[in-house]
Structure 1
Amino acid sequence: MTTSKTAKSLHVLMTADAVGGVWQYALDLAGGLLTHGVRTTIAVLGPAPSADQQIMAEAAGAELVVTGLPLDWTASHRGEVKEAGHAISRLAAQIRPDLIHLNAPALAADARFDVPVVTACHSCVATWWQAVKGGPLPDDFAWRTDLVRQGYGSASKLLAPTLAFAQATAETYGLAQMPTVVRNGRRASGVPSNARSRSFIFTAGRLWDEGKNFATIDRMAARLSIPVLAAGPLQGPNSVQVEARHAKALGLLSDQDVARQLSKQPIFVSAARYEPFGLAVLEAAQAGCALILSDIPTFRELWDGAALFVDPRNENEATDAVKRLVQDPGTRSALERAARQRAETYTVEAMSEGVLRAYRSALAGTSCEASLEGAAA
């Protein structure tokens, strides 16, 4: 893709937090956009980035502004989110970017910006509740959903990482037009794969999140003779907590530590009931791990033909799938190759080019139909 003068002159103000997958998305995107001459300032909400995270941002060519503002999903009331949006608006007025990229749509609910706003639909409590719980939203989720709906309505363009999640978002919020699909990309860790010395299971993510369904993996661990290792926090905000009774909890690992675990080519398992994309799955596939995934629309869209799929509510299915791969090295090796090959299509370059096209469309004031940007990348 040829870099244009328009891209070279772009300065983007992007919001992110340092506690979840949005952080890695923001840094990968900032680094990818930099190759097109786009300068990115990242306004960090929530806890301040660690020293390692600051080094990562510097390597990506992103300038950080640590705001200390509350995250929309941990805010105690509507006013906190609205004030955070106003603060981002004031920051934009100070640094005068050409475009705003919000990774937290609710920030646009009550704030006004003088430049186009592109909003990424990474996840939301309404689609999470529908996938994990079902039924009417509780009051604490209802007001957050209302702010997200307002934020979507204020945006010049919406992005989603999968077609399945774009459809769920459009249906949940009654959108007249589906978000544009730009699949996430991830730069490979560079840690070389090691020859397998033993079989083990690996999973990673926010283990406390009920949508990740760690409880199924933990019950599965009780039925297996090989180790099940789980990376990620067991305790989340607002005293949400899950126990690891049978799996070995490794705690929150650095990106490099996760990459070292994946380099041993374990069988990677995700039993998630809600996952708009799944960066941890992509990282495992890049490392050449065989994948056992829950049979949900997003995973089917991304990994059909390159993974084994199981009912996320049934640990017996997951257990049987693990035993099959342990006992059948040929099938396991074929899945490892298939996962790695599929992962090669989900690149930072394809993601960055898709997002840049969305930026140009927003700046030009055009409204194109929802499309799968980068599906052929």
Structure 2
Amino acid sequence: MTADAVGGVWQYALDLAKGLCSEGVRTTIAVLGPPPSSDQQAMAEAVGAKLILTDLPLDWTADNAREVEETGRAVARVAAQIRPDLIHLNSPALAAHVSFDIPVVAVCHSCVATWWQAVKDGPLPEEFAWRTELVAKGYSSVDRLLAPTWAFAQATAQVYGLVQAPHVVPNGRRSAIASRSESDEDFVFTAGRLWDEGKNFAVIDRISSRLTVPILAAGPLDGPNGAHVDVCHARPLGRLSDSEIARHLSREPIFLSMARYEPFGLAVLEAAQHGCALVLSDIPTFRELWEGAALFVAPDDDGAAAEEIERLLQDPESRAALGRRARERAYTYTAAAMSAGVLSAYYSVLRREPPRSSLEEAAA
């Protein structure tokens, strides 16, 4: 399985590896991009995944198509050495110019074309156009293509002109166990790749200037692609470990996401698992996943978001009820259900009949 340690794909890969391990599936993760931190490597070891640190560039930070093609060939060489039953690509572009000798399942977690459509205006710039061509070739080359939401599957099919939309297997997350923070301070919480324009952190920063409580923001301000976001009002926490994020969420703060682009949103799911009231941008994926269990505002309406947050701060009963609905909805998106769905996709390309598994029983 390919993965990177930069964003949500890392958590996805580890939760999936743990679920597959319970079914006797051994996972080797070829890590692309910056190496995982020591705590990330420890997490991988804890779930039984073997890591191969490739020092290869991420497809979305590569300088040219040749680098991506070379990375794909390098992954193929790694696969030839360890001889797995199949390959799971979390970067489908790697399949664009490589003929793997075994079945390939790929997941479209995100891509620059759908990101551009959601975040920017006008035609794709040249640096995105060649990446999009590689992704399109990758999508057409793999044996099975998955997506985490129906909304993103449809967006992907529309942008790439796919005859068949990707098969939907919703993401899931194992709840992190954390001791409750002893601080009495109330706060709003957000988390993610803050430097990514799709996360719309500039609006969150403006919202912070309107609130009577601070917004604590977990995540990097600088991206591996050179992107940077400034912070004027929110309280940046930097990159936190899973346990540190869980400790903050254990206080059940209001969780805020104003993303303009979010194929799924694992951070939102983590907050919901802890019973946090959710205030989210009104985008198709969030509506699909959290309709009836969150409050929605337009992605760039900082005034409306601030009003909703202040209303919840002044109405503890409504806030608690919204948090309960979020937690109940989160039970739908479990790591067991995700692992069962992916395992079913594996069996479909291996042309094997899947046995009744403990994952299916846990997901039922």
User: Are residues 1:358 and 2:326 paired?
Assistant: no
- The separation in 2 between residues aligned to 1:254 and 1:55, in whole angstroms, is 11
1:39-67 Cα deviation digits (max 9, x unpaired): 11111111122221111111111111111
Aligned partner letter, 2:147:
A
Within the candidate set 202, 210, 227, 2:189 is matched to 202
Match of 1:91 in 2: 78
Q: 2:27 — aligned with what?
A: 40
Instruction: Tell me the residue number matched to 1:117.
Output: 104
1:298 aligned partner? 285
Q: Does 1:81 align with 2:68?
A: yes
Shift of the alpha carbon at 1:134? 2.6
Give CA deviations for 1:168-214 in whole Å, capped at 9, x if unaligned: 00111111111110000100011255688342111011111000000
2:234 matches 1:244: no
Matched residue, 2:244:
257
Find the residue that maps to 2:245 and give its secondary structure: helix
| Structural RMSD (CA) | 1.6
Q: In structure 2, what residue type is equivalent to 1:21?
A: G
Q: Paired residue for 1:103?
A: 90
| Counterpart contact for 2:209–2:233, Cα < 8 Å | yes
Match of residue 307, structure 2, among 316, 320, 326: 320
**In structure 2, C-alpha distance between the alignment counterparts of 1:194 and 1:184, rounded to whole Å:** 27
Instruction: Give the counterpart of 2:46 among 59, 75, 78.
Output: 59
**CA distance in structure 2 between the aligned counterparts of 1:196 and 1:238, rounded to whole angstroms:** 36
Query: Residues 156-305 of structure 1 correspond to what in structure 2 (within 5 A)?
Result: 156-193=143-180, 197-305=184-292
Please give the secondary structure, in 2, of the residue aligned with 1:237. Answer: coil
Given that 1:192 and 1:263 are in contact with CA atoms closer than 8 Å, whether structure 2 keeps it comes out as yes
Partner Cα distance (2:225, 2:71) in 1? 20
Q: Which amino acid aligns with 1:221?
A: S
Q: Which amino acid aligns with 2:350?
A: L
Counterpart of 1:79 in 2: which secondary structure? helix
The TM-score with structure 2 as length reference comes to: 0.95
Distance 2:146 2:118 in 1: 20
* 3-state SS, counterpart of residue 230 of structure 1: strand
Give the distance between the partners of 1:239 and 1:114, measured in 2 at CA. Answer: 36
Check conservation: 1:164, 1:297, Cα contact below 8 A.
yes
In structure 1, the residue matched to 2:334 is: 347
Say which SS state the counterpart of residue 27 (structure 2) adopts. strand
CA–CA separation in structure 2 for the residues paired with 1:279 and 1:231:
13
Query: What is the CA-CA distance between 1:19 and the residue it aligns to?
Result: 1.4
How far did 1:365 drift?
8.8
Q: Is the 8 A contact 2:181 2:247 kept in 1?
A: no
Tell me which amino acid in the other structure corresponds to 2:213: I
Distance change (3 Å), C-alpha of 1:195 and 1:303: farther
Contact 1:33–1:352 (CA under 8 A) maintained in structure 2:
yes
SS at match of 2:87: strand
- 1:148 and 2:135 correspond: yes
Shift in Å at residue 94 of structure 1?
1.3
Query: Deviation string for 1:142-183 (max 9, x for gaps)?
Result: 000000000001000000000000000011111111111000
Which deviates further from its counterpart, 47-56 or 297-306?
A: 47-56
- CA distance in 2: counterparts of 1:292 and 1:283, whole angstroms: 14
Give the percent of matched residue pairs that are identical in Structure 1 and Structure 2: 68
Where structure 1 has 5 or more consecutive residues not aligned to the other structure, the ranges are 1-13, 367-372
One-letter amino acid of the structure 1 residue matched with residue 71 of structure 2:
A
Distance 1:175 1:365 in 2: 26
TM-score by length of 1: 0.92
Equivalent residue letter for 2:210: R
Q: 2:7 aligns with which of 20, 28, 33?
A: 20
Amino acid at match of 2:235: K
- 8 A contact 2:218–2:240 mirrored in 1: yes
| Equivalent residues, number | 357
Paired AA for residue 164 in structure 2: Q
How far apart are 1:235 and its partner, in Å?
1.3
Give, in whole Å, the separation in 2 of the partners of 1:151 and 1:238: 22
Aligned mates of 2:185, 2:220 — CA distance in 1: 25
Residues 98-121 of structure 1 show CA distances to partners (whole Å, capped at 9, x for unaligned) of: 100000011000111011100000
Displacement of 1:237 after TM fit? 2.8
User: Hey, what's the Cα distance between the residues in 2 that align with 1:287 and 1:336?
Assistant: 8
| Contact 2:177–2:243 (Cα < 8 Å) also in 1 | no
| Runs of 4+ with deviation above 4 angstroms | 192-196
